Structure 1
Amino acid sequence: MKMQNDVVPPSTPVPLQAQFVTITEEEAGQRIDNYLLRVCKGVPKSHVYRILRSGEVRVNKGRIDQMYRLVQGDIVRIPPVRIAEKADTTHVPAAEFKVIFEDAHLLVIDKPAGVAVHGGSGVSFGVIEQLRASRPDAKFLELVHRLDRDTSGLLLLAKKRSALTSLHEQMRDGHTDKRYLTMVAGDWKNARQHVKLPLHKYTTAEGERRVAVQAEGMPSHTVFTLLKKFKDFALLEAELKTGRTHQIRVHLSSSGFAIVGDDKYGDFALNRALLKADATRGALKRMFLHAHQITFTHPDSGKIMTLNAPLATECERFLLSLGKPLN
Structure 2
Amino acid sequence: MTDIRKDSVTFITVDENGADQRLDNYLTRLLKGVPKSHIYRIIRSGEIRVNKGRADAMQRLQQGDELRIPPIRLAAKATDGQVVPGANFPIVYEDEALLVINKPAGVAVHGGSGVSFGVIEQLRKARPDARYLELVHRLDRETSGLLMIAKKRSALVKLHEMIRNDVPQKRYFALALGQWPDKIRHVKLPLHRFHTPSGERMVRVDESLGIYAHTIFTVQQRYRDFTLLEALLRTGRTHQIRVHMQANGCPIAGDEKYGDFSANRELQRHGLKRMFLHAANLVLPHPLTGEELQLQAPLPPELTRFLDTLPQS
Structure-2-length-normalised TM-score: 0.85
Query: Which residue pairs with 2:281 in the alignment?
Result: 293
Paired AA for residue 97 in structure 2: H
In 2: Cα distance, 1:43 partner to 1:225 partner:
48
Return structure 1 stretches of 4+ with deviation > 4 angstroms: 15-21, 40-60, 62-65, 80-84
In 2: Cα distance, 1:248 partner to 1:54 partner:
49
In the TM superposition, what whole-angstrom CA distance separates every residue of 1:185-235 from its partner, at most 9, and x where no partner exists? 122121221222222222223332211222212222211111112221111
Distance 1:91 1:56, change over 3 A: closer
Distance 1:174 1:63, change over 3 A: same
In the TM superposition, what whole-angstrom CA distance separates every residue of 1:17-37 from its partner, at most 9, and x where no partner exists? 997643122222434443243
In 2: Cα distance, 1:33 partner to 1:268 partner:
46
In the TM superposition, what whole-angstrom CA distance separates every residue of 1:91-124 from its partner, at most 9, and x where no partner exists? 1112111111112222111111001111111111
**1:268 and 2:261 matched:** yes
In 1: Cα distance, 2:237 partner to 2:68 partner:
37
Aligned-residue offset at 1:308:
0.3
**1:169 and 2:161 matched:** yes
In 2: Cα distance, 1:124 partner to 1:166 partner:
29
In 2: Cα distance, 1:43 partner to 1:94 partner:
22
Distance 1:196 1:41, change over 3 A: same
**1:24 and 2:15 matched:** yes
SS at match of 2:265: helix
Distance 1:307 1:70, change over 3 A: same
Paired AA for residue 144 in structure 1: V
Matches within 5 A, 1:1-327: 21-41=12-32, 59-60=50-51, 61=53, 66=58, 69-76=60-67, 85-88=75-78, 91-214=83-206, 215-277=208-270, 283-324=271-312, 326=313
In 1: Cα distance, 2:214 partner to 2:73 partner:
41
Distance 1:17 1:198, change over 3 A: farther
Count matched residues: 304
SS at match of 1:314: helix
- The more displaced of 211-220 and 254-263 is 211-220
Paired AA for residue 18 in structure 2: E
Aligned-residue offset at 1:48:
6.5
Contact conserved, 2:213 with 2:235, CA < 8 A, in 1?
A: yes
In 2: Cα distance, 1:26 partner to 1:259 partner:
39
In 1: Cα distance, 2:244 partner to 2:217 partner:
10
Paired AA for residue 30 in structure 1: Q
What 5-or-longer segments of structure 2 have no aligned partner?
1-5
Paired AA for residue 278 in structure 2: H
In 1: Cα distance, 2:227 partner to 2:101 partner:
27
- The more displaced of 163-172 and 200-209 is 200-209
Paired AA for residue 307 in structure 1: L
Calculate percent identity across the aligned residue pairs: 56
- The more displaced of 29-38 and 146-155 is 29-38
SS at match of 1:164: helix
In 2: Cα distance, 1:217 partner to 1:46 partner:
35
SS at match of 1:184: strand
Distance 1:137 1:47, change over 3 A: closer
In 2: Cα distance, 1:200 partner to 1:84 partner:
38
Distance 1:87 1:267, change over 3 A: same
SS at match of 1:104: coil
Cα root mean square deviation, aligned: 2.9
Structure-1-length-normalised TM-score: 0.82
Contact conserved, 1:151 with 1:289, CA < 8 A, in 2?
A: yes
Distance 1:230 1:73, change over 3 A: same
Contact conserved, 2:33 with 2:76, CA < 8 A, in 1?
A: no
Distance 1:226 1:30, change over 3 A: farther
Aligned-residue offset at 1:259:
0.2
In 2: Cα distance, 1:17 partner to 1:95 partner:
32
What 5-or-longer segments of structure 1 have no aligned partner?
1-14, 278-282
